[in-house]
Amino acid sequence: MIILALDVYERDRALKIAEDVKDYISMVKVNWPLIIGSGLDIIRELKERTGLKIIADLKLADIPNTNRLIAKKVYEVGADYIIVHSFVGKDSVLAVKEIGEIIMVVEMSHPGALEFINPLTDKFIEMANEIKPFGVIAPGTRPERIKYIRERLNGEIKILTPGIGAQGGKALEAIKAGADYIIVGRAIYSSENPREAARRIYEEVKGWSSG
Ligand code: O7E
């Protein structure tokens, strides 16, 4: 039920943190900082070292052909899921879904999300219900929005919520509101003892979720 957002640059540090905390997490999310710092092959290495599923958080937002070209290479190195933006439209999202499992952004956790992305959530939920991705991203910083999204989203689609810890969101509140997975970055990897930080969050939420 915990997804580690491994937003560090260095390969050795990333592998060490992932190995340290792997007993308490379900998946590892790799974002641009780690890909830029360590190369795309870090996805394969993390998968081999931890045995966990890997989410490539590319937030793809391009025309269908470019989305497809990028996604193909990323699935080839072992990514289990790729995160795509919904606002580019159904054709761009489907171009990725045709070759692998996807997670769609329907709402974001930061203050700026209120300007353009979040007002379109209803449309994105509608699109997700039609496309049936593995999951959607909803804001861990706004539990009432997780609940709103859960009520409207097809029950088989998972909800993944970032914003827990460093951005102020609370793990248990997000889970109780309907999140299947919480995404945690700095609260784990910037901690003096990442394993202990992950264990504490795991203990806090374990009775509440099946993820
Ligand atoms: O705040 P942290 O350190 O716990 O890290 C949060 C991670 O979740 C980080 O990788 C960030 O890029 C990501 N994230 C958000 O913080 N807010 C969002 O709305 C969406 C994401 C995310 O994972 O996007 C997937 C689309």
Tokens of 208: 């509440």
Share of the chain above pLDDT 70, in %: 99
Q: What are φ and ψ of residue 56, in 5° steps? A: -95, 105
| Res 109: pLDDT | 92
Q: Active site includes 80? A: no
Q: What is the mean pLDDT of residues 39-68?
A: 98
Q: Active site includes 59? A: yes
Is 183 close to ligand 1, i.e. is its CB under 6 Å away? Answer: yes
Helices (H), the chain: 11-21, 32-38, 42-50, 64-76, 90-97, 121-131, 143-152, 171-177, 186-189, 194-205
| Total-model pTM | 0.96
**Band (207; pLDDT cuts 50, 70, 90):** confident
- Express each pLDDT in 60-88 by its tens digit: 999 999 999 999 999 999 999 999 999 99
Q: Which ligand 1 atom sits nearest the alpha carbon of residue 7? A: 10
Q: What is the mean pLDDT of residues 113-131?
A: 97
Is 205 close to ligand 1, i.e. is its CB under 6 Å away? Answer: no
Is 118 close to ligand 1, i.e. is its CB under 6 Å away? Answer: no
| Res 92: pLDDT | 98
Is 83 close to ligand 1, i.e. is its CB under 6 Å away? Answer: yes
Q: Which domains does the chain have, with CATH numbers?
A: 2-209 (3.20.20.70)
Cα–Cα distance for residue pair 96/185, rounded to 1 Å: 25
Cα–Cα distance for residue pair 93/90, rounded to 1 Å: 5
Residue 211 has pLDDT above 60, yes or no: no
Nearest CA residue ID for atom 12, ligand 1: 31
112 annotated binding-site participant: no
Q: Active site includes 122? A: no
Nearest CA residue ID for atom 21, ligand 1: 162
- Express each pLDDT in 175-200 by its tens digit: 999 999 999 999 999 999 999 999 99
- Express each pLDDT in 144-155 by its tens digit: 999 999 999 999
The count of residues in the chain is: 211
